[in-house]
C-alpha cells in the first residue's frame, strides 16, 4: 500500500476528491448488498453487481471525458454512477423490471440489472449531441460480446481525426479526440472475440483503453483453468509495443491501490487520447464479496484461505485504511460518510420500490373490484370468488397476475351477458395494448427516418444507357455514393487494393483513399464490430462478409448486439450498419451461400434483403442509407458477370423494403421466390408456358420485412395455387414464406391446391456443378413441381411425364 504517493497534493488527490470517491465506493457497495437482499427476498428475479470493483472503476471514471465511450459489461455500476449516468434509484428500478423509461432509462425494463446505456436518441429517434454526453453503449450479457463493437467505436475516432471531411460532424466527435473505455471480466478474456479484438486494435492503432477486472474466477472456475500463465497481461505480452513495432501498451495495477489506479488510468488515457495507442490495463487482486451473482454462493467453490484473502484485500477497506494513514480524513468523518452512504442506498431502494409498485397496486385493487362487480351479477359467483382469492394470495402480484385473473374470470363467465363484463374486456384489451408498447416496440425504427418510409425511385434509362456486367453496375453505384457522402466507409477482407473479390469496388481505394475503402484481416467478428461502433457514432459503414456462409463467424455479434440494440434500449440507441455479402448458387459445402433460415431466426431487428440483380441491390443500399436501421444485403454471386443495363440515375434509385415485384404475370400458379432463384424460376416459367401452364412469378425482394402490403395474397386470389421456392434447407426460408402468406395473409381461403415448397436437399451441397444440380432446386425441379400441381387439377390435359 502506498502511503506517501507521488500524486499527493495534485489536483486529483485533494481531500474533497478523495472523500467523495470514498463516499461513492461506499454507496455502490451498499447498493450491491441491498440488491442481493431484494433478490433473495423475492422483489427481484436476479441480481448481479459490481462489488469489489468500486475503487478501480472510480479511478477509470476520473479519466473519462464528455464525448468518450464506455463499452463495458454488467459490473460497471460504479463507473456509471461516477459519470452521472446512473442513479441508485435507477439500478433498483432495473432490478424490479420497471418498464418505464422515466424510471429505468437504460433499457425500459427489458434487460436484467447491470445493463447500462446512455440515451443517444430523442423522443423522435433523432441523434443527440454525443460530444456532450458520457456515452455508454448498452451492455449485453454475452461474455466478451461488448468487445467487437468497442473496436469500431475507437476506430471511428481514428477516422474523425484522419478525415477532414468528417470534421463538420461535430455532434459526434471533437475531431477524433475521444477514447473508448472497454471493460471485461478476466474469465471472459478466454473468449475468441476478445483475442480477435485485441489483435485488431493493435493492427489498427486505435484509442481503445481496455480494462480487465481480474478477481481470480469465472463463476467457479479459477484463473489457472482460464488463462495461460494465469495472467491475461502475460498471455498478451507478445502484443506489447516497443520502440520498433506498434502494438498495445499493457499495464498492470492492483485493484485496491487507489493512488496507483488513479495514476495508471491518467497515464493510459493520455497516451490513448493523444497518440491513439490502444492500451490494456490488467487490474489484478480484485475481489467479489458476494460471489458471482444471486444465483449461488461463492463459499461453495472458494477455500477458506481464499475467502480470508478476499476479506483482507477488499478494495473499499484498503482504500479506507489508506485515507486514514495519509491523514485525508478521521475515523469519525469516515464513519459519517459510511452512515450517510447506507442511508442514501436505502432511500434509493425504497423510492424505486414505491414508484414501481404505485401503478401495480392500483391495478391490483382495480382488478379485484372489477371481478367482484361481475361476481355479484353472475351465476358463477363461487368460481369468481376463487379467482379473487387466488389473486389475493399472490405474493407481490404483477401485471401477469392481474391479466391472468381477468382472463380466468372471463372464461368462468363464458357467454353470460352481464352489465359489468364490458369493463373486464376493456381492461384486458388495454392491458394487452399497453404491454405491447412496453415490451414489443422499437424492434425497428419508429421514427420518420425509418427506411420503410423511403419512397421508391425507379431506374431511368436512355438510348445511351450501356449494357455492362453486374459488377460494373455496383461499382458505378459505389463510386457515386463515396463521392457524395463522406460518412460512407467500405471495409472488409480484400475490399481495398483489389476492390473486393468480385471487383465491385475496383479502383475506389485509389480514388478515395484507405480511410474510405479499407482492407481488413480475416476477422469477421470484428469486421462487424468495427461497423457497429462506427454506425453508433454517426458514420455510415458498409462492411463486407466476403461470402455469405462465413457470416456464422459474426453471428453472435449480429444477433446479440446489433439486432437487439434499438429494442433493448427501448428506442434509446441505434446503429444503422449495412452488412454486405454475396451468396446464392454457390457450390461446395462451405460455399453454398443460402443460410436464410438462420438469418430469419437470428436477425429480427435487422432488415434482410435479397436482390436478384445489381440495379436492385443499388436501390436497396440507397434505401437503407436514407433510413436509420441496420440491414443485411446478400448480393447474387452469379450475377456479377451477367449483363444489365446501367441506369442513368444509378445513384438515385430507391427500392422500397417489403414490397414484392411481379416479374411475370400468370393465371394458373403463383411462384414466390427471391435472389438468384428468380432467374431459375423465370426460365422454368417459360418452359411451363410451352406446356400450357401460365405461371405468375413474384420476387419478394426482402425477407425482413416481408410483403407488407399483401401483394402475394392478391396474386393467389387470381391463381388459387402457390409454390414457395428457394435454395435454403427444407423448413427454412421457404417454410417461413409459406407461413407469412398462408397464415398471416390468410391465403388458405383462396387455395384450390395444397401449397408447396421447393427447397434444397437437407444437407449442404457438395462441390461441383453436378453436386449443385442434384442438391439445390433447378429449372427441371421447378417445372416438375408446377406441372404435377396442374396435373392433379386436370390429369387429362396434363398427362404424366415420367
Dist. CA 503–CA 611, nearest whole Å: 18
Return the half-sphere exposure (C-beta side, CA atoms, 13 A cut-off) of residue 738: 20
Dist. CA 384–CA 191, nearest whole Å: 54
Contact assessment for residue 576 and residue 627, using Cβ atoms and an 8 Å cutoff: yes
Dist. CA 470–CA 674, nearest whole Å: 17
* β-sheet with 540-545: strand ranges across: 517-519, 488-492, 540-545, 578-583, 631-636, 607-609, 702-704
Count Cβ atoms below 10 Å from residue 305 Cβ, excluding itself.
Answer: 8
According to DSSP, the β-strands at 69-71 and 180-185 are parallel
Q: What share of the chain is helix, strand, coil (3-state, %, to 5)?
A: 45, 10, 40
Nearest of 23, 727, 39, 36 to residue 334 by alpha carbon? 23
Dist. CA 35–CA 291, nearest whole Å: 13
Q: How far is CA 731 from the centre of its chain?
A: 26
Continuous segment of H or E residues that includes residue 193: helix 192-204
Dist. CA 539–CA 163, nearest whole Å: 12
Continuous segment of H or E residues that includes residue 756: strand 756-758
Dist. CA 410–CA 395, nearest whole Å: 23
Beta strands in 334-409 (DSSP E): none
Q: How far from 693 is each of 68, 248, 363, CA to CA, in Å?
A: 64, 67, 61
Count Cβ atoms below 10 Å from residue 663 Cβ, excluding itself.
Answer: 17
Contact assessment for residue 239 and residue 250, using Cβ atoms and an 8 Å cutoff: yes
Please count the helices (runs of H) and the strands (runs of E) in the chain. Answer: 26, 22
- The answer to whether the Cα torsion of 628, 634, 640, 643 is positive or negative is negative
To the query of whether residue 591 is one of the catalytic residues in this protein, the response is yes
Contact assessment for residue 528 and residue 563, using Cβ atoms and an 8 Å cutoff: no
Contact assessment for residue 146 and residue 137, using Cβ atoms and an 8 Å cutoff: yes
The CA-based diameter of the chain, rounded to the nearest angstrom, is 103
User: DSSP string of 538-581?
Assistant: T-EEEEEESSGGGGGGGHHHIIIIITTHHHHTTSS-----EEEE
Helix axes 15-40, 88-95, angle to 10 degrees: 20
Dist. CA 429–CA 651, nearest whole Å: 47
The single-letter DSSP state of residue 797 is: T
Dist. CA 495–CA 498, nearest whole Å: 6
The single-letter DSSP state of residue 744 is: I
Contact assessment for residue 737 and residue 707, using Cβ atoms and an 8 Å cutoff: no
Contact assessment for residue 579 and residue 570, using Cβ atoms and an 8 Å cutoff: no
Contact assessment for residue 148 and residue 135, using Cβ atoms and an 8 Å cutoff: no
Continuous segment of H or E residues that includes residue 771: helix 769-775
Burial class (CB in 10 A: 0-12, 13-18, 19+), 315: buried
Cβ within 8 Å of residue 349, ≥6 positions away? 31, 34, 38, 88, 89, 92
List helix spans (H) across 250-298.
258-275
Catalytic pick among 167, 313, 380, 591: 591
Positions annotated as catalytic residues are 591
Amino acid at each position: 500500500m502506498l502511503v506517501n504517493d507521488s500524486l499527493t497534493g495534485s489536483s486529483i488527490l485533494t481531500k474533497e476528491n478523495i472523500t467523495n470517491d470514498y463516499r461513492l465506493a461506499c454507496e455502490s457497495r451498499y447498493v450491491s448488498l441491498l440488491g442481493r437482499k431484494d433478490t433473495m427476498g423475492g422483489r427481484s428475479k436476479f441480481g448481479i453487481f459490481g462489488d469489489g470493483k468500486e475503487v478501480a472503476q472510480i479511478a477509470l471514471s476520473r479519466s473519462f471525458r464528455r464525448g468518450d465511450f464506455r463499452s463495458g459489461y454488467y459490473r460497471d455500476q460504479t463507473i456509471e454512477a461516477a459519470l452521472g449516468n446512473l442513479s441508485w434509484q435507477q439500478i433498483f428500478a432495473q432490478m424490479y423490471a420497471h418498464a418505464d423509461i422515466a424510471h429505468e432509462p437504460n433499457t425500459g425494463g427489458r434487460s436484467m440489472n447491470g445493463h447500462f446505456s446512455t440515451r443517444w436518441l430523442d423522443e423522435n429517434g433523432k441523434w443527440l449531441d454525443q460530444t456532450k454526453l458520457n456515452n455508454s453503449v448498452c451492455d449485453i450479457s454475452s461474455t466478451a460480446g461488448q468487445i467487437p463493437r468497442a473496436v469500431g467505436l475507437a476506430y471511428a475516432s481514428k477516422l474523425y481525426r484522419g478525415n477532414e471531411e468528417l470534421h463538420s460532424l461535430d455532434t459526434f466527435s471533437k475531431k477524433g479526440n475521444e477514447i473508448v473505455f472497454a471493460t471485461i471480466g478476466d474469465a471472459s478474456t478466454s473468449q475468441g472475440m476478445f483475442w480477435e479484438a485485441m489483435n485488431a486494435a493493435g493492427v489498427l492503432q486505435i484509442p481503445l483503453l481496455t480494462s480487465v477486472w481480474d478477481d481470480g474466477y469465472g463463476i467457479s472456475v479459477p484463473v489457472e483453468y482460464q488463462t495461460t500463465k494465469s495472467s491475461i497481461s502475460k498471455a498478451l505480452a507478445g502484443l506489447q509495443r516497443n520502440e520498433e513495432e506498434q502494438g498495445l501498451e499493457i499495464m498492470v495495477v492492483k485493484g485496491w491501490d487507489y493512488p496507483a489506479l488513479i495514476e495508471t488510468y491518467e497515464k493510459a488515457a493520455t497516451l490513448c487520447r493523444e497518440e491513439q495507442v490502444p492500451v490494456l490495463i490488467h487490474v489484478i487482486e480484485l475481489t467479489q464479496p458476494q460471489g458471482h451473482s444471486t444465483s449461488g454462493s461463492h463459499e461453495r467453490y472458494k477455500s477458506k484461505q481464499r475467502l480470508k484473502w478476499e476479506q483482507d484485500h477488499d478494495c473499499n477497506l484498503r482504500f479506507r485504511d489508506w485515507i486514514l494513514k495519509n491523514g485525508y480524513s478521521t475515523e469519525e468523518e469516515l464513519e459519517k460518510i459510511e452512515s450517510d452512504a447506507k442511508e442514501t442506498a436505502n432511500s434509493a431502494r425504497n423510492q424505486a420500490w414505491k414508484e414501481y409498485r404505485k401503478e401495480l397496486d392500483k391495478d391490483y385493487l382495480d382488478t379485484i373490484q372489477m371481478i367482484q362487480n361481475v361476481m355479484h351479477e353472475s351465476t358463477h359467483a363461487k368460481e369468481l370468488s376463487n379467482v379473487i382469492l387466488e389473486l389475493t394470495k399472490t405474493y407481490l402480484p404483477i401485471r401477469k397476475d392481474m391479466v391472468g385473473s381477468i382472463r380466468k374470470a372471463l372464461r368462468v363467465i363464458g357467454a353470460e351477458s352481464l352489465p359489468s363484463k364490458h369493463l373486464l374486456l376493456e381492461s384486458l384489451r388495454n392491458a394487452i395494448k399497453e404491454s405491447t408498447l412496453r415490451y414489443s416496440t422499437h424492434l425497428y425504427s419508429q421514427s420518420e427516418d425509418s427506411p420503410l418510409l423511403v419512397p421508391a425511385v425507379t431506374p431511368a434509362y436512355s438510348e445511351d444507357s450501356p449494357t455492362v456486367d453486374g459488377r460494373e453496375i455496383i461499382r458505378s453505384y459505389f463510386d457515386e455514393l463515396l463521392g457524395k457522402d463522406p460518412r460512407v466507409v467500405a471495409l472488409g477482407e480484400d475490399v481495398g487494393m483489389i476492390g473486393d473479390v468480385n471487383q465491385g469496388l475496383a479502383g475506389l481505394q485509389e480514388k478515395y483513399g484507405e480511410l474510405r475503402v479499407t482492407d481488413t484481416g480475416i476477422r469477421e467478428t470484428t469486421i462487424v464490430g468495427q461497423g457497429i461502433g462506427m454506425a453508433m457514432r454517426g458514420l455510415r459503414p458498409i462492411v463486407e462478409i466476403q461470402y455469405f456462409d462465413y457470416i456464422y463467424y459474426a453471428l453472435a455479434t449480429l444477433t446479440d448486439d446489433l439486432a437487439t440494440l434499438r429494442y433493448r434500449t427501448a428506442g434509446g440507441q441505434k446503429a444503422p450498419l449495412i452488412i454486405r455479402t454475396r451468396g446464392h448458387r454457390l457450390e461446395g459445402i462451405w460455399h453454398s451461400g443460402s443460410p436464410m433460415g438462420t438469418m430469419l431466426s437470428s436477425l429480427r431487428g435487422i432488415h434482410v434483403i435479397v436482390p436478384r440483380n445489381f440495379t436492385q441491390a443499388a436501390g436497396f443500399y440507397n434505401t437503407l442509407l436514407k433510413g436509420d436501421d441496420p440491414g443485411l444485403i446478400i448480393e447474387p454471386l452469379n450475377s456479377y458477370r451477367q449483363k444489365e443495363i446501367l441506369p442513368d440515375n444509378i445513384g438515385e434509385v430507391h427500392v422500397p423494403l417489403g414490397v414484392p415485384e411481379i416479374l411475370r404475370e400468370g393465371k394458373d400458379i403463383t411462384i414466390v421466390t427471391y435472389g438468384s432463384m428468380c432467374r431459375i424460376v423465370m426460365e422454368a416459367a417459360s418452359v411451363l408456358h410451352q406446356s400450357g401452364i401460365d405461371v405468375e412469378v413474384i420476387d419478394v425482394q426482402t425477407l425482413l420485412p416481408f410483403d407488407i402490403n399483401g401483394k402475394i395474397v392478391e396474386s393467389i386470389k387470381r391463381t388459387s395455387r402457390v409454390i414457395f421456392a428457394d435454395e435454403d434447407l427444407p423448413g427454412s426460408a421457404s417454410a417461413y414464406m409459406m407461413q407469412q402468406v398462408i397464415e398471416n395473409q390468410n391465403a388458405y381461403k383462396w387455395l384450390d391446391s395444397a401449397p408447396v415448397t421447393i427447397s434444397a436437399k437437407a444437407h449442404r451441397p457438395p462441390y461441383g456443378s453436378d453436386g449443385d444440380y442434384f442438391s439445390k432446386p433447378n429449372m427441371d425441379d421447378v417445372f416438375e413441381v408446377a406441372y404435377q400441381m396442374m396435373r392433379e387439377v386436370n390429369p387429362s390435359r396434363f398427362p404424366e411425364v415420367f
